[in-house]
C-alpha cells in the first residue's frame, strides 16, 4: 500500500526542461528546413511541443529564429576599397548560406522581413556601399537585387529537387524549344548550381554582354 504522499509524488508534473533560444535554433537547423514540423524539433530537443511553443508560435517563427542564428554565425565579408569585389563576396556568402541548408531558401522567402538579423545584414551591406560612394537608394537597390538573386537561385534548385530523378526538367518546354536551348535548360537545372549562379551574378554586376555583332 502506498501513502498519500507517495501518490501525490507520482502525479506531480516535473518542471519543463530549461531551454534557450540558441538551443531551439540549433535544433531547428539540425532537423532541417524541408517539411519542417514543430513535433520533429521538439523531439530533437527532448521536450513536448508545448515547451517549444514558448519560444516560437509556428513554423515561420522557427525558420526566422534559425535563420537569425545562421546569419550570426556566418563570417560576412568586410568592405575594403572595391565595391564590386565586396558585393560579389557578399552575394556569394548569402548563396552559400542558403545552399548549405536544403529547404532554407524556400522557407526564408516567407520570413525575411520578420528576421531581425536579416534586416541588420541588409542595412549593414547598404551602409558599406554608401561608405564606398554609393547613393543610399542605389546601394539599397544593389543589395536587394543581389539578395534576391542569391536566394531565388537556390529556391529554384530546391523546387527542382522535388521532381523525380527520371523526369526531364526541360520537358514542359520541349515542344517549343530547339535542341541547343533544351541542352542549356537541362544544364541550368541539373548541372552544377554554382556554375549557373556565377553566370547570373556576373551579368548582375557587369551588365548583360551585347552580342559580338552589336558590340562597338
Separation CA 26–CA 194 (nearest Å): 26
CATH code of the domain made up of 18-73: 1.10.10.60
CATH architecture of the domain covering 74-205:
Orthogonal Bundle (1.10)
What's the confidence (pLDDT) of residue 202? 96
Question: What is the distance between the terminal CA atoms of the chain, rounded to a whole angstrom?
Answer: 99
What's the confidence (pLDDT) of residue 12? 36
Separation CA 85–CA 80 (nearest Å): 8
What's the confidence (pLDDT) of residue 1? 43
What's the confidence (pLDDT) of residue 4? 44
What's the confidence (pLDDT) of residue 162? 74
Q: pLDDT below 70 — which residues of the chain?
A: 1-17, 163-177, 214-216
Separation CA 125–CA 129 (nearest Å): 6
What's the confidence (pLDDT) of residue 7? 44
Separation CA 184–CA 76 (nearest Å): 33
pTM value? 0.83
What's the confidence (pLDDT) of residue 5? 41
**Domain ranges (residues) in the chain:** 18-73, 74-205
What's the confidence (pLDDT) of residue 174? 60
Amino acid at each position: 500500500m502506498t501513502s498519500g504522499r507517495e501518490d501525490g509524488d507520482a502525479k506531480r508534473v516535473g518542471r519543463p526542461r530549461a531551454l534557450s533560444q540558441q538551443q531551439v535554433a540549433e535544433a531547428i537547423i539540425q532537423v532541417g528546413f524541408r517539411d519542417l514540423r514543430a513535433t520533429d524539433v521538439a523531439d530533437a530537443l527532448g521536450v513536448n511541443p508545448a515547451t517549444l511553443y514558448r519560444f516560437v508560435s509556428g513554423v515561420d517563427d522557427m525558420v526566422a529564429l534559425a535563420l537569425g542564428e545562421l546569419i550570426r554565425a556566418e563570417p560576412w565579408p568586410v568592405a575594403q576599397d572595391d565595391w564590386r569585389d565586396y558585393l560579389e563576396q557578399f552575394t556569394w556568402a548569402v548563396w552559400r548560406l542558403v545552399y548549405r541548408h536544403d529547404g532554407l531558401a524556400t522557407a526564408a522567402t516567407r520570413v525575411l522581413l520578420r528576421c531581425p538579423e536579416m534586416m541588420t545584414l541588409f542595412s549593414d551591406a547598404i551602409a558599406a556601399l554608401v561608405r564606398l560612394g554609393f547613393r543610399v537608394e542605389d546601394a539599397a537597390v544593389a543589395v536587394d537585387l543581389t539578395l534576391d538573386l542569391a536566394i531565388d537561385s537556390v529556391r529554384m534548385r530546391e523546387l527542382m529537387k522535388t521532381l523525380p530523378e527520371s523526369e526531364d526538367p526541360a520537358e514542359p518546354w520541349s515542344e517549343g524549344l530547339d535542341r541547343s536551348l533544351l541542352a542549356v535548360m537541362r544544364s541550368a537545372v541539373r548541372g552544377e548550381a554554382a556554375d549557373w549562379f556565377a553566370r547570373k551574378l556576373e551579368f548582375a554586376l557587369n551588365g548583360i554582354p551585347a552580342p559580338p555583332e552589336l558590340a562597338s
